[in-house]
Structure 1
């Protein structure tokens, strides 16, 4: 228990002080079909009329690089999918890659782009209590059907795949203390997948902790605190456990590098996803997934995108999110 602030309790009975937290608020899912990812094209989405000034937007996707294959000319390109956020305006684009009949299978495309908002934290004079103003801070009182709350946890062995019970818009965070395992969340099958080597699923057994946060309208409790959103619906109750971001970690610049967590003792948890693509032996192009241990964040192996069987591919590593900060939650809040 903390000395001040608002307390909520996880399903395990853990008390979480959310009075000084930075919860993520779901804003919108941008489907792949809405984005023009042709050569040099860009798509812009303006959220200035959706969230107030001062709100930070975060855009998350499950596939961050385009692996392109020419159907008419022998050639392959690995290109970053660029995501730019400027004052609540999101621009998604690809660099120009010339002309030609390019083939881009569904397995190499992002499922969607999830836009999330982080509201500024309040500054109070007395240093204690709950403060809510202009629909901001905590809780983010904007849309009663858009908050992310804890819906599932798992703590146990992980041997390569884990089936989750969630929607396609769920935010999945996990702690996997084995830096050699590349982690990916397949939103089509709702499976968490671990690659122990390039293209190899499983082949290991490690302890895994998982938290699933899904969009849900809070259930009105028999007692406790209840807050209504601007649309008149219930947006938060003290009986729900929200997604609380405790720190931001910058991704390393290259495959094989690592970035340290600022509070490793709190069991840092990250979202599994593909951060890009990498070519090996000039014959194969692979998905690069996030990887971690209890102290650091980096990149790990993934599935094979391309195999040409000859020594003809350029050695390319495209990781669009390198150097960028990703949200980190603490497992100590939930387990």
Structure 2
């Protein structure tokens, strides 16, 4: 039996195909009597409405709403997610939440979801239980059975160590600030791994909290006889603090000491001297996360978790230069003699 088309109904009814289409769709532009007549003719002819097209598939993106330190990175990830999702034909549904029930509800309504940043275990357990494809951008427990897209923290730490060694630095301080963040720890481990192979490197791990100024921690380091010629900071925010404090204390950068950050966020180029740093490509993390979800949805990956790393790159600017231990020592001595 031949398929009944709108053109056939239009020919029988004496109406235009446009009018028939609007009548069958229940849209305005035709009278109620005309609508009923068209519906009867369509029924008598055995017309079947085409199945409604499904809505665009949706990718959920859930940010931890209390993570302010990484807010700029998260904006970059969001930009990458939205652009790639649009390219692949997905809608995006964004949430900033740490509520397990809200996360579960969002994920259940999506084809898959990306969990950005740190989420606590109750949230993760509820998210995993939904059974939808998930990608995480934060650090995982050992052998955690979930896909992950992240930057190369450990490797970046090693690269910074090699960069500073090439500049002649032999006394380096890692400015970690508040300890306990996994990424910061990995950067420290990566740098330490390189320095330990050298044998003649003094590598100090500086930890401090909001109650202690960097200058106070630095003074304590000098009292112990350690005078760094370079500071590797765990993120750009710490590097801005270190540069500001060193300039306030009378240091010249990079003539006396060098400072390198991590992130390459807006502050890196706004401070003077501009900050040498490690670029985290948040946009690429977002793009890769969407592609990984799409691969899962379409069955293009084996049923085992995937770890995907987006490689960082060192961006050289004005805050680093060749080591000058004599100047660093003299500057320390002149400051402490005041």
TM exceeds 0.5?
no
Higher relative CO (Cα under 8 Å, sequence separation at least 6) belongs to 1
Instruction: State the TM-score, normalized to the length of structure 1.
Output: 0.23
Higher strand share: 1
Higher helix share: 2
Give TM-score, length-normalised by structure 2: 0.23
